[in-house]
């Protein structure tokens, strides 16, 4: 994971990259925030409802309260802006609510953070374009991974769900599958959706899916190569995380201590 983040362009000189488990203040603040949120608020979050619908009664307390830990991850550094995908906007609303509840009870302390979304707000599953692309999807053809081989990527896009109309158009409501292809194509090439559709005029969807696969392969190739290179130097990766943990701890400790004073723990 560390190698992937570095290969994608995260610069540890500018960004603090660390293992959350190495900074105990995340768990400490999470517990305090958990005591301030009501059970129905968490049960109504769509990701909880979606996962428990599949798992029946196997949903754990950890899964239920995970969005509160996410809130702690954000508020612990008094963040003002958080880059998220569309599927996390509801969780960000919980973060905002918790910041406001805390501030109302203990005085203005946490900024109320705002969501930052890119033009590609959500990547949809290749096999079910009504759902998001997820690394935990049991269908191995549904999700493209950065570390996939070119052959695997081609196979996944070839099997991607579209429809029975061969023309390439962008209509997320009535043509989810093809629109997902267009959105992915636009995201990896940096082109607008309109430009992608214009360039694809006269190409049937079967050929178009392979075009998108090629564009994804081209985008991922240097990242995949850099991941393999970074994985060869495990010591470097561990050092990056170690230095990051120290920096994160320096920021998190005084904020967590202040929260403990405000709620009466200290």
User: Among all residues, which ones are annotated catalytic?
Assistant: 51, 132, 135
Distance of CA 94 to the CA centre of its chain: 16
Rounded CA gap, 75 and 73, in Å? Answer: 6
Helices (H) and strands (E) in the chain, counts: 11, 2
Rounded CA gap, 84 and 245, in Å? Answer: 22
The CA-atom distances, in angstroms, between 53 and each of 48, 56, 122, 133, 239 are 8, 5, 22, 18, 41
Which residues touch 39 (CB under 8 Å, ≥6 apart)?
A: none
CB 188 within 8 A of CB 205: no
Helix/strand/coil (H/E/C) assignment for every residue in 68-121: HHHHHHHHCCCCCEEECCHHHHHHHHHHHHHHHHHHHHHCCCCCCCEEECCCCC
CB 232 within 8 A of CB 9: no
Token look-up 């190569």 returns 225
Q: What angle do CA 160, 147, 3 make, to 5 degrees?
A: 145
């Amino acid at each position: 994971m560390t190698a992937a983040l570095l290969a994608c362009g995260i610069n540890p000189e500018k960004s603090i990259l660390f293992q959350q488990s190495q900074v105990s203040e995340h768990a400490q603040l999470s517990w305090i925030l958990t005591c301030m949120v009501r059970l129905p608020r968490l049960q109504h979050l769509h990701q909880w409802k979606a996962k428990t619908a599949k798992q029946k009664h196997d949903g754990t307390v950890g899964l239920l309260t995970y969005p509160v830990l996410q809130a702690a991850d954000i508020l612990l550094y008094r963040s003002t802006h958080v880059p998220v995908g569309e599927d996390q906007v509801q969780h960000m609303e919980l973060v905002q609510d918790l910041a406001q509840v805390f501030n109302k009870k203990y005085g203005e302390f946490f900024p109320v953070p705002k969501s930052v979304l890119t033009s590609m707000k959500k990547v949809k599953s290749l096999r079910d374009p009504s759902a998001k692309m997820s690394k935990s999807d049991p269908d191995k053809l549904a999700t493209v991974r950065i570390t996939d081989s070119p052959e695997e990527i081609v196979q996944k896009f070839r099997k991607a769900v579209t429809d029975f109309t061969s023309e390439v158009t962008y209509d997320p409501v009535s043509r989810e599958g093809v629109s997902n292809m267009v959105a992915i194509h636009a995201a990896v090439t940096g082109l607008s959706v309109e430009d992608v559709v214009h360039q694809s005029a006269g190409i049937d969807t079967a050929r178009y899916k392979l075009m998108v696969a090629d564009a994804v392969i081209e985008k991922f190739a240097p990242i995949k190569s850099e991941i393999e290179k970074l994985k060869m130097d495990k010591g470097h990766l561990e050092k990056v995380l170690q230095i990051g943990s120290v920096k994160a701890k320096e920021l998190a400790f005084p904020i967590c201590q202040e929260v403990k004073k405000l709620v009466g723990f200290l």
